[in-house]
Structure 1
């Protein structure tokens, strides 16, 4: 049975930097790996556990690494074993949706765990979910086919580069979302509750993203140290240096977004307090203005004779007192910005 006939399995074989075979049977993988001139890629998407165990036994993969590739909640890491290196990273994608929708607090962040068994002459990738674009990975390998002569490091670089670029795109989308929140803070027509819900959702998405982005720095650093120790070809050094720079930038950008969303959250609370103070000042001012006619009419309503008692002159005098007093208070409060 060819690998093309097994759902979710893809294979490739290069020799001398040229692609010579695709979707060949999994039974041939070990034979190709034994060929010093061969470069092998095996891709398993959501593989059956028995299939993975059988392939691991054939290739001599460490049992602990195999279990880590299927375990839930595994963290981003790179572990070196006697015959291979095991790497776990997470591809990310932010689902599209209306940024103004405050009715859904569920996270839009989607992650796909990508595990890789890095062998001397090949790489086996195991992944789940829909956030990893394997077609983009193949396109990058095809665009840099001249680098295939350098073997497994080329395949690994392409894999990590696709993952890091996907994380960069997700970070950029979250940055745009936070900028939208900042604009909404000072919009007099924006609904405070909607901003609060959007801020909470972005904050939750950012926390989830940090968990998979921050450890990438250690993963790439370990790979670069391993290359330096074994004296691998210097032609790929600049490629890995550029990859490490992207990882550092993603880490720093993620940290800055964390500070930004915290600032948005605190600013929103401060603005609510300021708006409440403004409302209270206005209510207090109007209460003072209304208290004047209340006091005057109450005074003139007493049951004892007073100047103008029983005549239209008394009504006119009370009206003048009310108008002048209330008008004076209005002008004073208006100048002080209380109204």
Structure 2
């Protein structure tokens, strides 16, 4: 779906263009450029663009299918870039990744959006409000999109750092025995997805900042160098967050293991005590059971002191067992 297709010249938006076949002709006549925005277009919708703007088929396939790595490629006079904006949903700790495919020529810029991101609209509004910057044409659009995307990266790293602080407080706080591995692993998985959006973008930004790229004038390199610097910082923060998550996960697992070992030791101690008291209780139970049997003759049953002798014998055995268990630290 085509969201917008407008002609820009002399730093101003002129009018909307409905006939894409005449878009380049109008741009050349007005000494301006055409800015087209699309959302998840189909191959059929791209046919007019491919024919009218001589877009490379390989880049068209990438723009339609999406799920590409951030990159910068050159096809003759057309520069093709893929950028992955991100958004952090804090309450569920999820990094949502969208995708922008950008075709750049001397007289046109085509932005294809996949997913939920407002960056193209924000950049269009910002440049339309800044005629001086808009006069630079398609390079200004590319710079604006990259700059907004990298700023989002830094915002997401700040939000992840806040969640990391919470996790550290939980793992090393007042109740370290609880298992936080599920939350840590989930956040680590999101950081890995975030890394796949940021780290590959550093190399294209380096090319834009240091090398000659068609459609990108040399005077714009400092602007792209600034974006590259921010992207490098975001990449470093992501690597640090991932390393910290790995350390916290190991610490959490170690604490859980220690707590489980402590519980196991306590359970073994309790079982020894129970077994010891059961062994002591077994003596009078066994003797009482024997003397409770219905026989005519039992040892010492007809003695005047027989009861007291048996009772004393039970006491001696029980005391002996108790002392033996205490000596072996079962009681």
- 1:309–1:162 CA distance, 2 compared to 1 (3 A): farther
| Partner of residue 130, structure 1 | 116
CA distance in 1, matches of 2:140, 2:215: 15
1:176, CA displacement in angstroms? 2.9
| Partner of residue 182, structure 1 | 168
* 1:20 pairs with 2:13: yes
Q: Let me know the Cα RMSD of the aligned residues.
A: 3.6
Q: Given the alignment, which residue of 110, 124, 141 partners 1:155? A: 141
- 1:230–1:260 CA distance, 2 compared to 1 (3 A): same
SS at match of 1:54: helix
Q: Given the alignment, which residue of 151, 165, 181 partners 2:151? A: 165
CA distance in 2, matches of 1:229, 1:46: 26
Q: Given the alignment, which residue of 267, 270, 282 partners 1:283? A: 267
| Partner of residue 37, structure 2 | 43
Contact 1:8 1:46 in 2 (8 A): no
CA distance in 2, matches of 1:36, 1:246: 36
Q: Given the alignment, which residue of 87, 107, 114 partners 2:81? A: 87
| Partner of residue 105, structure 2 | 119
Contact 2:79 2:105 in 1 (8 A): yes
Q: What whole-Å deviation, never above 9, does each CA across 1:104-154 have from its counterpart, x for those lacking one?
A: xxxx33222211111113311111111343332224324543222323221
Contact 2:128 2:134 in 1 (8 A): no
CA distance in 1, matches of 2:15, 2:182: 48
| Partner of residue 63, structure 1 | 57
- TM-score scaled by length of structure 2: 0.79
Q: Given the alignment, which residue of 69, 74, 98 partners 2:68? A: 74
CA distance in 1, matches of 2:285, 2:53: 103
- 1:229–1:151 CA distance, 2 compared to 1 (3 A): closer
Contact 1:110 1:131 in 2 (8 A): no
Q: What whole-Å deviation, never above 9, does each CA across 1:54-89 have from its counterpart, x for those lacking one?
A: 112111112222122112432221111111111111
CA distance in 1, matches of 2:216, 2:39: 33
Aligned residues: 312
Contact 2:3 2:37 in 1 (8 A): yes
**Structure 1, 216-225 or 289-298: larger mean CA deviation:** 289-298
Q: What whole-Å deviation, never above 9, does each CA across 1:215-260 have from its counterpart, x for those lacking one?
A: 10011112223447999353x3432221001110111112122212
Structure 2 gaps of 5+ residues are: 288-298, 301-307
| Partner of residue 293, structure 2 | none
**Structure 1, 119-128 or 222-231: larger mean CA deviation:** 222-231
1:321, CA displacement in angstroms? 9.1
Which is higher, the Rg of structure 1 or of structure 2?
Answer: 2
CA distance in 2, matches of 1:190, 1:213: 35
Structure 1 gaps of 5+ residues are: 1-6, 100-107, 334-339
**Structure 1, 212-221 or 38-47: larger mean CA deviation:** 38-47
Contact 2:276 2:325 in 1 (8 A): yes
Equivalent residues in 2 for 1:225-240 (5 A)?
225-227=210-212, 232=217, 234=219, 236-240=220-224
* 1:204 pairs with 2:198: no
**Structure 1, 196-205 or 210-219: larger mean CA deviation:** 196-205
